[in-house]
Amino acid sequence: MSKLQDKLVYFNKNKDKETIKDRWKNINSQEGLSTREKLDKLVKTSLKREEKITREKPTSAPSEDFPGKDGEGFFTREFSYPLNTVYGKFALAEWENVLPNQLAIIAGEDEFLEVSPMKLVFFDTETTGLSGGAGTIPFMLGFGYFLDEAFRVKMFILNDLDKEAQFLEAVDTFLQAQGFSAVVTYNGKTFDFPLMEGRYILQRKRFPLLKMLHLDFLFPARALWKYTYPSCKLSYLGDCLLGISRDEDIDPSRIPVIYFNYLRARSYGLIQGIVEHNALDLLGLAGLLLQAIKYVADISSTEDEGEILGVARLYDRYGNVDKADELYRIVKQSGVRTDVVERAVKGLAVIMKKRKLYAEAAELWGMLSAASTTGAYDRLALRELSVHLEHREKNYVKALAMVHRGLENIALSDAQRNDFEKRCHRLTRKMKTLQKEDEKS
């Protein structure tokens, strides 16, 4: 039952249909997921697990600053996840075996070679909106970190919008005391960091996390899993890869409304779901990064050829072309999915060109130009072949044939079509010049 359709048929025949209908009704009401994502989630939440999965709830320690204190601009909430416990399919204790070079490969930066993995801080925000700008306020700042044989989550929650300065000052004090080595986010470069930087500027301060190395794991996650899963949303990957189900989780689109209701009612029960949602996001982020590191350390832990391709792309981006070459060839030789194999071939072709092995690169481009299922790769392959034939083999007739094939590609953008037309004109001139020289001789 490797295909989603087969699994759905299986459930229809073998499972309690009323139970499946109830689950589908709950999942289908969730916003932000495509139909494919909803169906995939239905399958994964309905399959009986062959292995026993231990799910422990975190211990929660009430902090001194708790809702109800007069004059307080914020309060904190803390959770503790012991390292010796299994959460879903992963054990946080495995973080103790992580090496800095593995982090560097994921991040694609040598600077992470100096980072202590157990001194990372995982950062996430909950805000009054998703549009950004001065009107969007991050009212909950969550930090996940390792301390005293546990993964701890500490959240700062803004109690009074007029006391944001006090709120941010408490965050500064916390960060200064911890001595973290680097920060990990999920879409932090695009959303969380610009938003936080703006809020700090309004208070005439500098966002302290800007001083640290920053790993936005969204980009490595996409490289790893975009060819295996239909979505790279944090909660979706956490469900698929880690076994951390979020079916009972709060709908993220309702978070701003719930928070404003909390400000009016001052009832902690209203935002308790948001607090737990943020804690699960941070736990899931730590688990997904750990999973990626395990893939980098040993591809035998991967479950799909798309994931092997993803690991190859991470090594390629990091600059370890020998390892990338090895993994691309594994996918090329043993892969069964055409789209994944084509991307592996493309990666190999680029490496061969960088190594100035032009003949081998041309052979690979030729494979893509003949068998590609996506217009983008066909265009790139044809362009590279025309360059090779024109400048290295001096075969203008074949080069022009590649250009003509490219011009027939309906997926060409204006810039791409202009590039092919220029090549066409240049090759035509060269051929006319050669023809005149032949006539004279």
pTM for the model stands at 0.80
Q: Between these two residues, 261 and 131, which has the higher pLDDT value?
A: 261
Which pair of structure tokens corresponds to residue 256?
């701003």
Q: So what's the pLDDT on residue 247? A: 73
Kindly list the distances between the CA atom of residue 397 and the CA atoms of 203, 243, 384, 420, 438, in Å, as whole numbers in the listed order.
66, 57, 15, 15, 15
Average pLDDT over residues 223-243: 92
Q: What is the pLDDT of residues 43-78, one digit of tens each?
A: 655 543 333 333 444 554 443 334 545 567 899 999
Structure tokens at 231: 């979505």
pLDDT tens digits for range 93-138: 999 999 999 999 999 999 999 999 999 999 999 999 876 666 789 9
290-313, pLDDT tens digit by residue? 999 999 999 998 989 999 999 999
Domains and CATH numbers, the chain: 4-46 (no CATH), 59-297 (3.30.420.10), 301-440 (1.25.40.10)
pLDDT digits (tens, 9 = 90+) for 177-206: 998 999 999 999 999 999 999 999 999 999
